[in-house]
């Protein structure tokens, strides 16, 4: 079945990324994935002959690595490749719900929010060294097209750690699709600095509507000028809940001038100082954070080179094995281009010689 579309123009497939991350991330931490995927042979070839050589040339620093991750759709065919295994057509039935044989069972339908159309193929999740001058790819994985960025990130990240255990990740640059508390808490445990944009759909939780104000000790004041009563603390979201001072669980809201149509009255959430999502280092409104987060576009430039310059989607392969061969061949070419690319100093010197 095709996944649901985004509600607005340009929206991705809707997904409760916070709930997925909180359930799947602890499981992947306990599993300790092993490097035994079918693409392991070609990955070792790529690592020994290209990735390690780029490290020796100083293009990638594995001890102080800043990784940018993002997913991109890869269209492999115009429609599903399937074959009937029943005899309904011979019996005069053109449409039946019998089982089919699929030549690419790991491909399915996905929603491309950029082109605003469905596509059949993969969801390529790529990691790029954002602190390299040439946007060098580090590790890819082909997921199903219907997978959300959060699912692809969790699976690919722990798979990458199994294949590259010697890499020390210091910074992680992700877009708003990865905005979940579980990711921030994991980065805090692993001493990784997260640079993740806030999800636009959640920004309304950070503002206080109408005439609500905050007292000096952090307690919200309602429109009647009364201090609201504390009604618990949500540990998972690092926020305290306050309710209307003229309401209780038996009678509901009995205020003369209710400020909410809810039976229980108005509730307000206050985020605490130990919230790793809102209060991160460096702060989101600082120049240091914006300068570092600008490096996230390196993965988008890398995906553009693979799809547009090296024609990744022009393949007519009918197996994931051949798609991985094509993908890793393109990544090898990206490293070859970086080796031949002159340094900034050499390029400036050549311009000076031409000007003189």
Are 62 and 142 in the same domain? yes
The confidence band for 305, taking pLDDT boundaries of 50, 70 and 90, is very high
Looking at the DSSP bridge assignments, the partners of residue 82 are 102
Are 72 and 218 in the same domain? no
Contact 120, 77 (CB under 8 A): yes
- Specify the pLDDT at position 207: 44
Query: Mean of the per-residue pLDDT values for the chain?
Result: 84
Positive or negative: CA dihedral 251, 255, 257, 263: negative
The confidence band for 356, taking pLDDT boundaries of 50, 70 and 90, is low
pLDDT surpasses 80 at 354? no
Are 221 and 288 in the same domain? no
Any domain includes 10: no
Mean pLDDT confidence for 35-43: 93
Are 24 and 159 in the same domain? yes
Express each pLDDT in 186-238 by its tens digit. 998 999 999 998 876 654 444 445 556 766 666 778 777 788 887 787 776 66
- Specify the pLDDT at position 334: 95
Are 81 and 191 in the same domain? yes
Any domain includes 278: no
What is the distance in angstroms between the CA of the first residue and the CA of the last residue of the chain?
A: 64
Express each pLDDT in 138-163 by its tens digit. 999 999 998 889 999 999 999 999 99
Domain span at 211: 204-271
Rounded Cα–Cα distance for residues 123 and 117 (Å)? 14
Express each pLDDT in 283-296 by its tens digit. 777 888 889 999 99
Could you tell me which of 90, 130, 142, 135 has the C-alpha nearest to residue 317?
Answer: 142
Mean pLDDT confidence for 307-311: 94
Any domain includes 168: yes
Tokens of 193: 């600095």
Are 298 and 190 in the same domain? yes
Any domain includes 350: yes
The confidence band for 105, taking pLDDT boundaries of 50, 70 and 90, is confident
Positive or negative: CA dihedral 71, 278, 283, 26: negative
The mean-pLDDT minimum among 170-184, 228-242, 279-293, 328-342 falls in 228-242
pLDDT surpasses 90 at 342? no
Are 161 and 209 in the same domain? no
Are 232 and 96 in the same domain? no
Q: What CATH number is given to the structural domain containing 41? A: 3.30.420.10
Are 214 and 167 in the same domain? no
- Specify the pLDDT at position 212: 66
Are 24 and 88 in the same domain? yes
Are 222 and 188 in the same domain? no
Mean pLDDT confidence for 42-68: 94
Structural domains counted in the chain: 2
pLDDT surpasses 50 at 337? yes
- Specify the pLDDT at position 298: 93
């Amino acid at each position: 079945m095709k996944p649901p579309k985004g509600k607005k123009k340009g929206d991705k497939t809707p997904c409760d990324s916070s709930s997925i991350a909180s359930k799947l991330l602890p499981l992947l931490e306990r599993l300790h994935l092993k490097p035994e995927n079918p693409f392991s042979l070609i990955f070792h070839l790529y690592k020994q002959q290209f990735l390690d050589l780029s490290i020796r040339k100083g293009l990638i620093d594995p001890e102080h690595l800043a990784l940018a991750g993002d997913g991109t759709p890869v269209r492999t065919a115009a429609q599903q490749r399937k074959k009937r295994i029943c005899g309904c057509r011979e019996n005069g039935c053109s449409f039946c719900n019998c089982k089919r044989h699929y030549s690419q069972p790991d491909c399915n339908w996905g929603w491309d929010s950029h082109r605003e159309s469905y596509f059949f193929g993969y969801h390529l999740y790529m990691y790029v060294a954002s602190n390299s001058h040439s946007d060098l790819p580090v590790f890819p994985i082909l997921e199903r097209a219907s997978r959300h960025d959060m699912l692809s990130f969790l699976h690919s990240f722990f798979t990458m750690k199994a294949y590259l255990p010697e890499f020390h990740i210091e910074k992680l640059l992700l877009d708003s699709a990865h905005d979940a508390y579980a990711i921030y808490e994991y980065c805090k445990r692993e001493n990784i600095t997260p640079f993740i944009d806030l999800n636009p759909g959640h920004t309304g939780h950070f503002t206080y509507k109408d005439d609500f104000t905050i007292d000096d000790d952090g307690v919200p004041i309602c429109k009647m000028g009364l201090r609201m009563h504390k009604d618990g603390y949500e540990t998972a979201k690092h926020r305290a809940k306050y309710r209307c001072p003229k309401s209780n669980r038996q009678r509901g809201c009995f205020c003369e001038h209710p400020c909410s149509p809810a039976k229980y009255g108005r509730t307000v959430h206050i985020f605490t100082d130990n919230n790793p999502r809102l209060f991160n280092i460096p702060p989101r409104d600082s120049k240091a954070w914006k300068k570092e987060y600008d490096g996230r576009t390196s993965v988008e430039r890398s995906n553009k080179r693979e799809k547009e310059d090296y024609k990744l989607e022009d393949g007519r392969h009918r197996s994931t094995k051949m798609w991985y061969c094509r993908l890793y061949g393109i990544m090898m070419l990206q490293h070859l281009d970086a080796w031949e690319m002159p340094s900034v100093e050499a390029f400036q010197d050549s311009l000076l010689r031409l000007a003189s």
